[in-house]
Amino acid sequence: MIKPIGSSELKPLFIYDSEVHHQVMQEAEKLPSITISSQAASNAVMMGGGYFTPLTGFMNVADALSVSESMRMTDGAFFPVPVMCLLETTDAIKDAARIALRDPNMDGNPILAVMDVQAIEQINDQQMELMTQKVYGTTDTEHPGVKTFNSQGRFAVSGTIQVLHFSYFQDDFPDTFRTAVEIRNKIAERGWERVVAFQTRNPMHLAHEELCHMAMERLNCDGLVIHMLLGKLKPGDIPAPVRDAAIRKMVELYFKPNSAMVTGYGFDMLYAGPREAVLHAYFRQNMGATHFIVGRDHAGVGDYYGAFDAQTIFDEVPEGALQIEIFKADHTAYSKKLNKVVMMREAPDHAKEDFVLLSGTKVREMLGKGIAPPPEFSRPEVAKILMDYYQSLK
């Protein structure tokens, strides 16, 4: 199986030993504590599950700046985006050497992790602007990722962490949320050697489904991991439970048995386009995938990024940093001429009207009116689940 990044084995930061877990939990209740941001909490969940191996905790400012500039930490270790715990105030923890981090996304703000504090640093405007520009490609506060990153506070608390639970993801998505450790184990159990991963924050329409079939066939893969984001999205995006139901129905009906695994991960979407595409590849290698599909405007939002920037950025990844191979996909759509889904670049004799193309806005309008999109766009069983959701909003 493909090795994790920078390590011969995964390094999950969750405390799996039940006795140690109990001891640390007892200790944590007596420590100075602070409720962290949702983004920091999702970073902790990802570190807890081994996805961010070999990180041992939250980055200090020097590492965050270095990662933003060059995708390398100050010691040369590869990482594509800053992983920070940013706070508006440190009054509750002062200069404590060990603190408890509380979950902002669960009732009562239970303790999510314990940190051994390495440093508490204040970030200045110039540093914040540099990180924002390098990671998001813009400083426009209308960009949802920029807005979230810049609204968390300017105090960076860094240090190693021990993770005590997986936030709401394990409770709300017991059949879908999986750590990188669990996915690696499942891949091994199924005997898969060549594994392609598909990232989604949306329901999968026919074009997405066929793209996965294409990738599996062309790459000669044993299996597919459909890996959906379960964390926070921008307003208007379809909630995770609805996406989950739609994707599971599609896999049940249209994929061969033991060929596709439906899983999810606990992370808040950054909408960082190219940089987030590299992050997605990073943790897919850690979960055991040998290949990763990167499509048109991957992890983008609005018109902040070029259509294929998320593919060309892999030319900038330091040599040898990633072993996972990127399957570079074009926009896929149903061809009326060929009566099948194709990558649009592979049909040079087609005009725009030769494809079945519907905007997201148009599809939402149809679903909201109880009208199923054409079968060339969406499987009827998937459309039914989405129509029921949109009808429930009325």
Q: Judging by DSSP bridges, how do beta strands 155-163 and 57-58 pair with one another?
A: antiparallel
Is residue 72 annotated as part of the catalytic site, yes or no?
Answer: no
Residue linked to tokens 């060549």: 194
Query: Residue 147 half-sphere exposure, CB side, CA atoms within 13 Å?
Result: 9
CA 185, 244, 291: angle at the middle one, nearest 5? Answer: 45
Q: Please name the residue ranges forming H helices in 191-342.
A: 206-219, 240-254, 274-286, 309-312
Inter-residue contact 235 to 267 (CB < 8 Å): no
State the burial class of residue 329 (Cβ atoms within 10 Å of its Cβ: 0-12, 13-18, 19+): buried
Polymer length of the chain: 394
Is residue 60 annotated as part of the catalytic site, yes or no?
Answer: no
Which listed residue (202, 218, 248, 258) is catalytic? Answer: 202
> What residues have CB less than 8 Å from 271, skipping those under 6 apart?
136, 143, 144, 145, 234, 299, 300, 301
Which listed residue (201, 286, 339, 379) is catalytic? Answer: 201
Distance CA 255, CA 333 (A): 19
Alpha-carbon distance values, 380 to 222, 278, 372, 393 (Å): 27, 34, 7, 20
Distance CA 10, CA 284 (A): 12
Which residues does the annotation mark as catalytic?
Answer: 201-202
